[in-house]
């Protein structure tokens, strides 16, 4: 639990800085900005809700925080805990990342998905982009989709015959493409390690703040060049964005 607590603390610290950068949190007293009236944060694949509760505590009562999870027993447990601690702004709903409803008639300000497995991260990113989220924060894991497609250029062929190098290269290409797709979709993107590997090996975080119009042809060409270099023709987030990589 010490490692889990450190992850929660670091997540809250990172989220606070990003909320300030996105203009959703005042920099001095950590109060919600007056422009952000009842902002909504959705945590996709929230599990036991550790990080969802941390986000609710950080944002305070003048926000709506929703955790999405498939397991009914975790939904019941988390809702009971939220009620016990009188967190009226916090609720947990059953659903899949790709299809869950959180009441989309209200604007989505922040979408979070930490350790959503393989293409579930792409599903979460797509939900955030299509909803016009101001801030998207994901920590990917199990990047398996692209590995069977990986066709390395000749100079890398021998090196990538080793499974461990192939796995790490697939992880790199997957998350690099995700970052570039977010840039194309209108987001300023950062990729960084949010915590030491001694706490978790799944420590890469992609943060995206909506900042510019989508559809830049130069960005599209660069991400297609990256995909072509590794022989990648299909990727889940690109599919959700109806964007061809070839």
Give the global pTM.
Answer: 0.91
The 10 Å Cβ neighbour count of residue 13 is 14
Is-contact 64 89, C-beta < 8 A? yes
Nearest to 221 by CA among 210, 229, 213, 211: 229
Residue 86 CB-density burial (10 A; 0-12 exposed, 13-18 middle, 19+ buried): exposed
Is-contact 32 22, C-beta < 8 A? no
Return the pLDDT at 34: 46
DSSP state of 115: E
Domains plus CATH for the chain? 2-240 (3.40.50.150)
Query: pLDDT grade, residue 220 (50/70/90)?
Result: very high
Give mean pLDDT, residues 134-153.
94
Return the pLDDT at 68: 96
Express each pLDDT in 27-68 by its tens digit: 555 555 544 456 899 999 999 999 999 999 999 888 999 999
Main-chain phi, psi angles of 188, to 5 degrees: -85, 125
Give mean pLDDT, residues 103-131.
90
């Amino acid at each position: 639990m010490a490692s889990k607590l450190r992850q929660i603390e670091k997540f809250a610290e990172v989220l606070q800085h990003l909320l300030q950068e996105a203009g959703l949190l005042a920099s001095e007293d950590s109060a919600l900005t007056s422009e952000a009236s009842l902002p909504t944060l959705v945590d996709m694949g929230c599990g036991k809700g550790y990080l969802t509760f941390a986000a609710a505590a950080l944002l305070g009562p003048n926000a709506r925080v929703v955790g999405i999870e498939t397991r009914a027993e975790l939904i019941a447990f988390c809702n009971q805990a939220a009620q016990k601690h009188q967190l009226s702004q916090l609720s947990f709903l059953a659903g899949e990342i790709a299809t869950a409803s959180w009441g989309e008639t209200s604007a989505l300000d922040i979408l979070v998905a930490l350790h959503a497995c393989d293409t579930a991260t792409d599903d979460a990113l797509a939900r955030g982009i299509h909803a016009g989220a101001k801030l998207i924060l994901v920590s990917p894991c199990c990047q398996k989709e692209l590995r069977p497609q990986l066709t390395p250029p000749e100079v890398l062929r021998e090196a990538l015959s080793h499974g461990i190098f192939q796995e790490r290269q697939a992880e790199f290409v997957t998350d690099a493409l995700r970052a570039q797709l977010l840039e194309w979709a209108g987001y300023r993107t950062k990729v960084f390690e949010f915590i030491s590997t001694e706490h978790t090996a799944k420590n890469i975080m992609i943060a995206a703040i909506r900042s510019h119009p989508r559809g830049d042809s130069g960005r599209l060409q660069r991400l297609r060049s990256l995909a072509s270099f590794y022989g990648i023709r299909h990727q889940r987030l690109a599919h959700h964005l109806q964007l061809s990589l070839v």
